[in-house]
Chains A and B, each alone.
Chain A
Amino acid sequence: MTEIMQAAPLLKVNDIHVYYGAIHAIKGISLEVYENEIVTLIGANGAGKSTTLNTIAGLLKPRQGTVELNGEVLNGLGASKIVPKGLSLCPEGRRIFQQMTVRENLEMGAFTRPLNEISASLEEMFERFPRLKEREKQIAGTLSGGEQQMLAMARALMSRPKLLMLDEPSMGLAPILVEQIFSIISELHASGVTILLIEQNAQMALHVANRAYVMETGLITMQGPAEELLQNDAVQKAYLGS
């Protein structure tokens, strides 16, 4: 862990402020993600977790502060120009293309990559998510919730991101599917993907993560190694229900 931390961070968020009109949703957040880490961002509903990820991805613009990937400032680029730099967001609520087939969804994930590389990546995804292979030609809107989540994650991976950001991947899924999603996250991590994970399910998120940040109403209130936060009294009271 300490060894990893000495290198320059892959993602560096520097004191960002984000507004929705007059609403000050993010009030100065800084965080880092180092290569090969899983970092989780936990917090109650409305704390500003999604806003933070959407800002990093370029869907929202910070009024102040910077987002850097590998030392390169991303501010003002816009989401579509950030994707090819190696950052991919699997958004809250999945937002797969309901009217397209599973295969088309995956192909769209590789939109910024050269055509000749796509079929190898498709095979890779079908190997990792065999259910998607079975449903390759099915219209995505007809998949079950768990399958849609897998498709959303696979689609986000199709751009070959250096950093994968997952916004509540377990939302609305049955417990057995939640476990499955988390084991996929562990597998992805093991295969070398760096992950920034948002979760309501703090228990599972803290178990899978290396480090964690706790957010409350637009601010980061706590941070540290995941095991430490798991033991922390305040965290246990607020997020682990014990």
Chain B
Amino acid sequence: MIFLDNLINGLSLGSIYAIIALGYTMVYGIAKMLNFAHGDVIMVGAYIAFCALQYWGFPPVLAIVAAMAVCTALGVTIEGLAYRPLRQAASLAVLITAIGMSYLLQNTALMIWGANPKSFPRTFINGTTLRIGQLSVSSATIITILANIVIMIALTLFTAKTKMGKAMRCVSEDRGAAELMGINVNRTISVTFAIGSALAAIAGVLLCSSYPILQPTTGSMPGIKAFTAAVFGGIGSIPGAMLGGVLLGVIEIFGKAYISTELGDAIVFAVLIVVLLVKPSGLLGKQIREKV
């Protein structure tokens, strides 16, 4: 029972990592940059949802939509103001900018909402506990796992079928050739940030529904873990981010349960190092596709 319990918790935590990792991996794949401010967009999303629920009297679904809308606008603005002018710049300059953006978001949150942790309100997401046999599972766990599955299917269909999704795959493979097709690369990158940031808002709400303490640094650690998950799965690969995220969550929970609570995070990174030694491109990274 404890094993199953841990497994379900691991899948749930891993699903949150996976949803965040999607933002890292899509932006990396298409804009070829590491957006280290992504974790902090999660935190902003969580605060917006918190305010909408606590102060503005929004129903939960509308609060999530508001968080997504604000994060989408934030992501597109960050890209347009901070990253776009650096499109031709050295990647190190872009990385430093992203780290600066991360602190800017954290400090702005500190100014607006203060340092005191807020307790994220209860909603339909974490409102009930389900009993399956001897197992008791929080509704947040189930909803998180389901949300991850729905997002994965939707994104896969989006990139495979839609015009914008195909444009993203082209830009990711060869930016110059994509331009020669008539694809507006800047617009494609904007849309990528929009999608990644909207997903970050969802991740923020799910994260705070399972771990209801909200402060300006709330996004940092999950952000770093999700980035790790994206690398683990093969950065640039959408299924890789899913696999990496879920595995990372499961490894973390099992590591904490069976090996050491204190060393849980260290175990996660140890596994990452071993995987990267064996397969430097990550689990699903840059594999050569076979004939269909």
Contacts and interface: CB of A to CB of B under 8 A. Distances in A.
A108 interface: yes
Contact of A159 (B182, B288, B291): B182
Nearest to B179: A79
Contacts of A109: 181
Main secondary structure of the interface of A (DSSP, over half): mixed
A80 interface: yes
A218 to B, nearest CB: 21
A140 to B, nearest CB: 10
B117 interface: no
Q: Which of A95, A156, A159 has the most CB of B within 10 A?
A: A95
B185 interface: yes
Task: Report the interface size class on chain A.
Answer: 20 to 34
A195 B59 CA distance: 62
A101 B292 contact: yes
A187 B288 CA distance: 35
A81 B180 CA distance: 9
B289 A99 contact: yes
B167 A98 contact: no
A83 B173 contact: no
Nearest to B173: A97
Contacts of A97: 169-170, 173-174, 177
A14 interface: no
B184 interface: yes
Interface string B255-292: 00000000000000000000000000000000011111
Contacts of B87: none
A98 B292 CA distance: 13
A84 B292 contact: no
B176 interface: yes
Given A99-B169, A100-B169, A108-B166, A83 B292 contact: no
Interface residues of B, number: 22
B291 to A, nearest CB: 5
A32 B177 CA distance: 25
B224 interface: no
Interface string A147-188: 000000001100100000000000000000000000000000
B95 interface: no
Contact of A83 (B170, B180, B185): B180
B74 interface: no
Contacts of B291: 138-139, 142
Interface string A114-145: 00000000000000000000000111011000
A107 interface: yes
A159 B179 CA distance: 13
Interface string B149-184: 000000000000001001101100110111111111
Contacts of A91: 176-177, 180
B174 A80 contact: no
A84 B181 CA distance: 9
A88 B179 contact: no
A57 B178 CA distance: 13
A101 B170 CA distance: 12
A166 to B, nearest CB: 12
A8 to B, nearest CB: 25
A163 to B, nearest CB: 13
Contacts of A45: none
B182 to A, nearest CB: 4
26 contacts: A57-B180, A79-B176, A79-B180, A81-B182, A89-B180, A91-B176, A95-B174, A95-B176, A95-B177, A95-B180, A97-B170, A97-B173, A98-B173, A100-B166, A100-B170, A100-B173, A108-B181, A111-B181, A111-B183, A138-B291, A139-B289, A139-B290, A139-B292, A141-B289, A142-B291, A155-B181
Across the A-B interface, give the 5 residue pairs with the lowest CB-CB distance, nearest first: A112-B182, A83-B182, A79-B179, A95-B177, A111-B181
Given A108-B167, A138-B292, 17 more contacts: A57-B180, A79-B176, A79-B179, A83-B180, A88-B180, A91-B180, A95-B174, A97-B177, A99-B173, A100-B169, A100-B170, A107-B166, A108-B178, A111-B183, A137-B292, A139-B290, A155-B181
Interface of A: 57-59, 78-81, 83-84, 88-89, 91, 95-101, 104, 107-109, 111-112, 137-139, 141-142, 155-156, 159
